[in-house]
Amino acid sequence: MRYDIDVIQKAEKELLAQMQGATSLTKKRLSLDSGISRQHLGLIAKGKRNFSLKSFCDLADAFGCTATELMAKLEAIMMELVKLQVSMAADKTKGINYVKSTSGKNAQKPSKELKDGKKL
């Protein structure tokens, strides 16, 4: 499957957050264990940089798993984002705009509507 760059960046960001939460590693500890600078980790966490293959393998090692296991987690996150895109809109532009709008500090969540069209 081919993924849009926005989906990949959001998935990498989510993966980093999930794995840090699951392992209770601080950015400083993760930086020391992986050999990746805190600045670079911060850019990945903000969705401004992507993992390289080496940094991905280094992160897997720091998280105590294999690169294959970490890739499976990343793939699952990307699949969920794609499903969300499809459910959010019939056309690609609305779906990808949702992914973009939920990736920043001022993320906008879609409004929920009742069956009669009234907003919650």
Number of domains comprising the chain: 1
Percent of the chain with pLDDT over 70: 73
Asked if the structure places residue 49 within a domain, the reply is yes
Asked if the structure places residue 92 within a domain, the reply is yes
Domain interval for residue 80: 5-101
Residue-wise pLDDT tens digits, 47-105: 889 999 999 999 999 999 999 999 999 999 999 998 888 777 655 555 556 556 665 55
Asked if the structure places residue 112 within a domain, the reply is no
Query: 119 by DSSP, 3-state: which?
Result: strand
Question: Any idea what the CATH number is for the domain that residue 73 is in?
Answer: 1.10.260.40
Residues whose CB falls within 8 Å of the CB of residue 95, separated by 6 or more in sequence, listed in order: 84, 85, 86, 88, 89
Asked if the structure places residue 87 within a domain, the reply is yes
Asked if the structure places residue 115 within a domain, the reply is no
* Contact (Cβ atoms closer than 8 angstroms) between residue 28 and residue 56: no
Please compute the mean of the pLDDT values over residues 110-116 and round it to a whole number.
Answer: 46
Residue-wise pLDDT tens digits, 73-84: 999 999 999 888
- What is the DSSP code string of 26-78? -HHHHHHHH---HHHHHHHHTTSS---HHHHHHHHHHHTS-HHHHHHHHHHHH
Asked if the structure places residue 78 within a domain, the reply is yes
Give pLDDT, residue 4: 83
Mean pLDDT of all residues in the chain?
82
Asked if the structure places residue 43 within a domain, the reply is yes
From 112, 114, 88, 113, select the one nearest 101 (Cα to Cα).
88
Asked if the structure places residue 114 within a domain, the reply is no
- What is the DSSP code string of 68-100? HHHHHHHHHHHHHHHHHHHHH-SSHHHHHHHHH
